[in-house]
Amino acid sequence: MRVVADTNTVISAFLWGGPPAGVLAAARDGRITLYASPVLIAELEDVLARAKFSSRIAQIGSSIPELLVGYRALVTLVRPVAVSPTARDPDDDHVLACAVGADAAIIVTRDRDLLDLGTFSDIRILLAHDALAAFPVSPP
């Protein structure tokens, strides 16, 4: 199953665990294939560099470069496909473009603007706990 995780999901997975970490674990164990674009990787790096996350990154015993290297190794990079402006927040169109480029089945996010869409181009947009329920139980 092809999946795109929004930056907010990846940050939550790295720093707090819970269902977002389960999404990354599903990619590690081969139940899903996780996709990202260069724009989403750059956004992840930018968000991780915010001062509000520095103490949490230190608390978990990691660093921004370590988190980025691990994530880059986990995801398959794709070229986003141009999409018509759709989301209320234009930055969210990058997530949609990545998902279309990846031919994803699911976008995992906590972003209300994306969640309110429900689907986009037959791609379901779900919270992490709902996405986990949709993932295969074992690798294909």
Instruction: Let me know the angle formed at the C-alpha of 139 by 135 and 140, rounded to the nearest 5 degrees.
Output: 95
- Give the domain extent around 54: 2-134
Q: Residue 9 falls within a domain, yes or no?
A: yes
Q: Which residue has the tokens 């290297």?
A: 69
Return mean pLDDT, the chain: 95
- What average pLDDT does range 3-32 have in this prediction? 97
Q: Residue 32 falls within a domain, yes or no?
A: yes
Q: Residue 14 falls within a domain, yes or no?
A: yes
Q: How far apart are CA 122 and CA 70, in angstroms?
A: 29
pLDDT of the residue at 87 = 66
- What average pLDDT does range 120-135 have in this prediction? 97
pTM: 0.94
pLDDT digit string (tens) for 70-106?
999 999 999 999 887 776 777 899 999 999 999 999 9
- Read off the CATH number of the domain in which 11 is found: 3.40.50.1010
What 3-state DSSP class applies to 42? Answer: helix
Q: Residue 46 falls within a domain, yes or no?
A: yes
